[in-house]
Chain A
Amino acid sequence: MVMRFYSIAVYLFLYVPIGIIVLFSFNSGRNASDFRGLSIEWYGKALSNPFVLESLTSSLIIAFSAAFLSSIMGTTAALALQRMRGPMKTMFDGLIYVSIMIPGIVIGIATLVALVTVFDALNPLLAAVWPEGAEPPRLSLGYVSVIAAHTLFTMSLVIVLVRARIAGMDRSLIEASQDLYATPWRTFRQVTLPQIFPAILAGFLLSFTFSFDDFIISFFVAGANTTLPIYVFSSIRRGITPEVNAIGTMVLAVSLTLLISAQLLLRKNDTKKAAKG
């Protein structure tokens, strides 16, 4: 009885604030703490605000690029790790889990320091080798640095998902393909890749969500760029408006959709395997 009450309290604590954001995003009133009836007015306002649209575009570009890169790099790493044996493998496995656990703020600071150091070293070099008269490019924080940092921290997710899938894959499928005259590359394309693809796609969706929602790391390395979470953060310093609630609700909806899709992809694979076995 006590336990039951306790768990209900925990759930309320977790979800009531979120529920309130969703509810107040439909508030027709101007004041965020004073509910005046339902309307979708604030969604319209949010979506026609040029600052929101600009930061949303940045966020989408960053999330897509980071997810794309980390899917490719994570998959490649997972394939390489799968062939590795011995203490090196154990070490790499450990490092991957550690990198998932590292707090965002540490990744943020570390990436910032690393990027700034590299830029400071490269910029004079670039200026020196650049032809006379032309304006040398100046590397600075922006899209690329956010994408790099997000790729870094989402890649481990892809590695973990793809590795689990490879480990669960029937090794004899690869041998069967070789046996049926497929070259190593064709075996990869026709058997390995289709087998691990759902995991890669799930990794992509998760990476996208994590990158899209990320505030801490982006805050450190975004430079002059504003992502949607950064915009929300800066706008609530001017007070919480129903517009912010509307943005929050939309982000929530997109994130949940992606997370559920990823989960379904991974699940579908398991049931197929179960049905086969």
Chain B
Amino acid sequence: MNKLSNDHKDVEFVNVTKRFGPVVAVDNISLSVEQGAFFSFLGPSGCGKTTSLRLIAGFDQPSEGDVHIGGVPVVGIPPHKRPVNMVFQNYALFPHMNVAENIGYGLRQRSPKPTAAEMNKQIDETLELVQMSGYRNRRIWEMSGGQQQRVALARALINRPTVLLLDEPLAALDRKLRRDMQIELQTLQREVGITFILVTHDQEEALSMSDRICIMREGDIVQSGSPRELYDHPVNRYVADFVGKSNFIAGSISGVNGKSITVKSENGREFIGSPSTGAPTLRGGDHASIAIRPELIAISPSNTSAADMNADVAMNGRVKNQIFLGEHTEYLINAEGIGDVLVLSPKHIESESGGFNPGDTVTIGWKNELALALEDS
């Protein structure tokens, strides 16, 4: 990697491996995070997200490989000398200090130490940034989880780090607050322009906030890209399953014909899908799944023909469940030959057809070009 391209990378991993005894927490991963990006590590619990973050913060050192922050190699440099700050999952606020003392902690470690007036000014500004003005003298245990969260954010942001690390920052908040904080974090990141690296197991959180997402599994990076890339072009079934909702028909590949791949399902019916951009090439006999997003499936009264639905495949089914979501209606349909299928039907279609109720028989269908044939892994 040449020097020039290093300049706009805030964090880089080069073949980084981290072992804890026999456990390989991070397995030979390489990645780079652009300056000013909102980057997320997304994956199930235990896949190595926190470990990756701790390698950046310096709490752990890689067993192999190199970590760079702002183009500078940092392996062996202790946490207190790294230009990054972390928002801990449990906030880790100092209980023997009040809000202002907590937030000013990083400033007080500087040498030369800023003047009291300067520190107070910055503390007030940061409190305002996280909408906590007036909480200066609160004790930590006198605040709600959401308020503690904001103080933890302020305590990190006041130092203007090169990179802000957030380990499942919203996991402890209730649903409503979590949504609000997602929006706020995103706004805040744009406002301060600092690179944010977030760790989460919540795909919705990652999708709604990040510019780039790195999907991990068992210490490996499965795919990284923008939320849209991951949603539209998942490299395999694991990613498609993790990012957004999807229906899968499992089987094996019975034919490959350029942009159209035929998958023979377990009960013998053949479905056609296109390969995903950037995915490894599929060959005949490979285990694969047809993936189709719920919003790409059309729903009609029973025994409508495929042609009438403007679809390539159609099948009958029975509505098992219907959930009204305002803009959309979500149906769970038990379809002939493929089992339960999730269908998301937009409002304008619903008002035309009048909608369906549990127990109704319906026909569902989709166009082959909208389905993806994905490797089963």
B113 to chain A, nearest CB (A): 11
B141 engages A182 (CB within 8 Å): no
The answer to whether the Cβ of A172 comes within 8 Å of any Cβ in the partner chain is yes
B53-69 interface code vs A (CB 8 A; 1 in, 0 out): 00001110000000000
Among candidates B59, B80, B94, B106, residue contacting A173 with C-beta atoms closer than 8 Å: B94
Provide the residues of chain B in CB contact with A170, threshold 8 Å.
Answer: 90, 92
The answer to whether the Cβ of A276 comes within 8 Å of any Cβ in the partner chain is yes
Provide the residues of chain B in CB contact with A172, threshold 8 Å.
Answer: 88, 90, 92
Sort A-B residue pairs by CB-CB distance and give the 10 closest, nearest first.
A176-B92, A172-B92, A180-B106, A181-B109, A178-B79, A276-B141, A275-B141, A194-B96, A182-B109, A178-B80
The answer to whether the Cβ of B159 comes within 8 Å of any Cβ in the partner chain is yes
B89-104 interface code vs A (CB 8 A; 1 in, 0 out): 0101111100000000
Among candidates A176, A178, A273, residue contacting B94 with C-beta atoms closer than 8 Å: A176
Among candidates A182, A191, A194, residue contacting B80 with C-beta atoms closer than 8 Å: A182
A93 to chain B, nearest CB (A): 23
Nearest B residue to A176, CB-CB: B92
A274 to chain B, nearest CB (A): 9
The answer to whether the Cβ of B335 comes within 8 Å of any Cβ in the partner chain is no
How many Å lie between the Cα of A194 and that of B79 in the bound state? Answer: 21
The answer to whether the Cβ of A175 comes within 8 Å of any Cβ in the partner chain is yes
Provide the residues of chain B in CB contact with A272, threshold 8 Å.
Answer: 95, 141
The answer to whether the Cβ of A177 comes within 8 Å of any Cβ in the partner chain is yes
Q: Which residues of A contact B (CB under 8 A)?
A: 170, 172-173, 175-184, 186-187, 190-191, 194-195, 272-273, 275-276
The answer to whether the Cβ of B236 comes within 8 Å of any Cβ in the partner chain is no
Within 8 A of A (CB), among B85-142: 85-86, 88, 90, 92-96, 105-106, 109-110, 140-141
Question: A176-B88, A181-B109, A276-B140 given as contacts; is B79 within 8 A of A191 (CB)?
Answer: no
A181 engages B90 (CB within 8 Å): no
Provide the residues of chain B in CB contact with A178, threshold 8 Å.
Answer: 58-59, 78-80
The answer to whether the Cβ of B237 comes within 8 Å of any Cβ in the partner chain is no
The answer to whether the Cβ of B155 comes within 8 Å of any Cβ in the partner chain is yes
Provide the residues of chain A in CB contact with B79, threshold 8 Å.
Answer: 175, 178-179
B212-239 interface code vs A (CB 8 A; 1 in, 0 out): 0000000000000000000000000000
Provide the residues of chain B in CB contact with A195, threshold 8 Å.
Answer: 95-96
A180 engages B95 (CB within 8 Å): no
Within 8 A of A (CB), among B238-275: none
- A-B contacts besides A180-B109, A186-B109, 15 pairs, CB < 8 Å: A170-B90, A175-B59, A175-B86, A175-B92, A176-B86, A176-B92, A179-B86, A179-B156, A181-B80, A181-B81, A181-B106, A182-B80, A183-B80, A184-B80, A276-B141
Provide the residues of chain A in CB contact with B88, threshold 8 Å.
Answer: 172, 175-176
Provide the residues of chain B in CB contact with A187, threshold 8 Å.
Answer: 80
B159 engages A180 (CB within 8 Å): yes
How many Å lie between the Cα of A166 and that of B242 in the bound state? Answer: 40
Nearest B residue to A191, CB-CB: B94
15 contacts between A and B (CB under 8 A): A173-B92, A173-B95, A175-B79, A176-B88, A176-B93, A178-B58, A178-B59, A178-B78, A180-B80, A180-B105, A180-B159, A181-B159, A183-B109, A184-B80, A276-B141
